[in-house]
Amino acid sequence: MSETRHTKILIIGSGPAGYSAGVYASRAMLEPILVQGIEPGGQLTTTTEVENWPGDTEVQGPDLMVRMEAHARAMGCEIIGDIITSLDLQKRPFTAQSDSGTVYTADAVILCTGARAKWLGLPSEEKFKGFGVSACATCDGFFYRGQEIVVVGGGNTAVEEALFLTNFASKVTLIHRRDELRAEKILQDRLYKNEKIEPLWFHEIDEVIGADSPLGVEGVKVKHSKTGQITEIPCKGVFIAIGHAPASELVKEQLETHHGGYVVVEPGSTRTAIPGVFAAGDLTDHIYRQAVTSAGMGCMAALDAEKFLAEHE
């Protein structure tokens, strides 16, 4: 028989948003349960140095997340290694089914399931992830000072990342599969005016090439999307910027989403359209997508949930 666990606050997700919500909800004596999901610690466990987490000049992403987990646990948050497989937000208490068979019921839910960068799906891309291949210019651009870089994509993210990377790189090649950018015109203008950026139209990456020892990127083989001709571009960094996919599968039929699946919250808060359901972090943020902003929203969600519970007791 499956177990049922009731909690005042169910936090779904264990990235910076989830653990910060866990710290705040625990300190409000709300005895939250946090379900970690398939990636305990979230996206930062997939990276190495993090150099923009305030208070740490440099910290390894996985270490930071271990510390956040320990912090939430020390404050009294119950952290469970489980995955929520479905969520019913239509009636109270809210009900979550899980992979383990446990059913969680909750007076309030904080959704912190994050977002995932989309990848090209090439084996060579996978091989060099974290060793020259990245999906986060803000995080990793600093490592490519004076080097040549390629950026893949034609949307706002790709153009913003290419512009940002000119702060470090000697040259940025923007590789796009068409000859027309999806990015806003103002960003396109900035891109075309920037002498460090060279667009490469009608091309897609065929293979990331590099050294094995030490592991590192040395270039990309690109294929012309019409002629199939292969060319090699030397570079030390490859930034994939072909969009992000928010992990909103659990709620996309129940809550409004925008910009390709990001959960809509009331501006300046973490309140969704369903009272008692809050969303924080990358799941609701199509613009900033940073650890510190996610943690900030996790804090806001716990405070919003605390207020909601006090008003509905």
Q: Rounded to whole angstroms, how far apart are CA atoms 157 and 135?
A: 10
* x-marked contacts with ligand NAP along 253-292 as a string, rule CB under 6 A: ------xx-------------------------xx-----
CB 188 within 8 Å of CB 180: no
- How wide is the angle at C-alpha 63 spanned by C-alphas 32 and 135, nearest 5°? 95
Q: Pick the catalytic residue: 82, 107, 140, 285?
A: 140
Name residues contacting ligand NAP, limited to 56-115 (CB under 6 A): none
191 near ligand NAP (CB under 6 A): no
Extract the tokens encoding 63: 């270490």
CB 226 within 8 Å of CB 268: no
Closest CA to 13 of 271, 275, 244, 250: 250
**Smaller CB distance to ligand FAD: residue 250 or 299?**
250
Binding site for ligand FAD (CB under 6 A): 12-18, 35-40, 42-44, 46-47, 50, 52, 83-84, 112-114, 117, 135-136, 139, 247, 250, 281-283, 289-292, 294
**Smaller CB distance to ligand FAD: residue 17 or 265?**
17
Q: How many residues bind ligand NAP (CB under 6 A)?
A: 20
218 near ligand NAP (CB under 6 A): no
Radius of gyration for the alpha carbons in the chain, expressed in angstroms and rounded = 21
224 near ligand NAP (CB under 6 A): no
Please state the closest distance from residue 38 (CB atom) to ligand NAP, in A.
Answer: 23
Tally of CB atoms within 10 A around 81: 12
41 near ligand NAP (CB under 6 A): no
Closest CA to 139 of 63, 244, 47: 47
Please state the closest distance from residue 44 (CB atom) to ligand NAP, in A.
Answer: 19
CB 168 within 8 Å of CB 145: yes
Query: What single letter denotes the amino acid at residue 248?
Result: S
Dihedral sign, CA of 225, 231, 232, 233?
Answer: negative
Please tell me the number of Cα atoms within 13 Å of 104 on its side-chain side.
30
Please state the closest distance from residue 95 (CB atom) to ligand NAP, in A.
Answer: 32
**Smaller CB distance to ligand FAD: residue 140 or 306?**
140
Please state the closest distance from residue 296 (CB atom) to ligand NAP, in A.
Answer: 19
Token pair 């109270």 in the structure block, residue: 92
Please state the closest distance from residue 53 (CB atom) to ligand FAD, in A.
Answer: 7
Supply φ then ψ for residue 126, to 5 degrees.
-60, -45
Supply φ then ψ for residue 290, to 5 degrees.
-125, 160
Closest CA to 64 of 10, 11, 20, 26: 20
* x-marked contacts with ligand NAP along 145-164 as a string, rule CB under 6 A: -------xxxxxxx-x----
Question: For this structure, is 206 an active site residue?
Answer: no
Q: Rounded to whole angstroms, how far apart are CA atoms 250 and 175?
A: 34
In the list ligand NAP, ligand FAD, none, the entry touching 32 (Cβ below 5 to 8 angstroms by class) is: none
Stretch that binds ligand NAP, among 131-139, 191-199, 239-247, 298-306 (CB under 6 A): 239-247
CB 74 within 8 Å of CB 22: no
296 near ligand NAP (CB under 6 A): no
Question: For this structure, is 140 an active site residue?
Answer: yes
182 near ligand NAP (CB under 6 A): yes
Catalytic residue IDs: 136, 139-140
Which residues of this chain interact with ligand NAP, rule CB under 6 A? Answer: 120, 152-158, 160, 177-178, 182, 204, 242-244, 259-260, 286-287
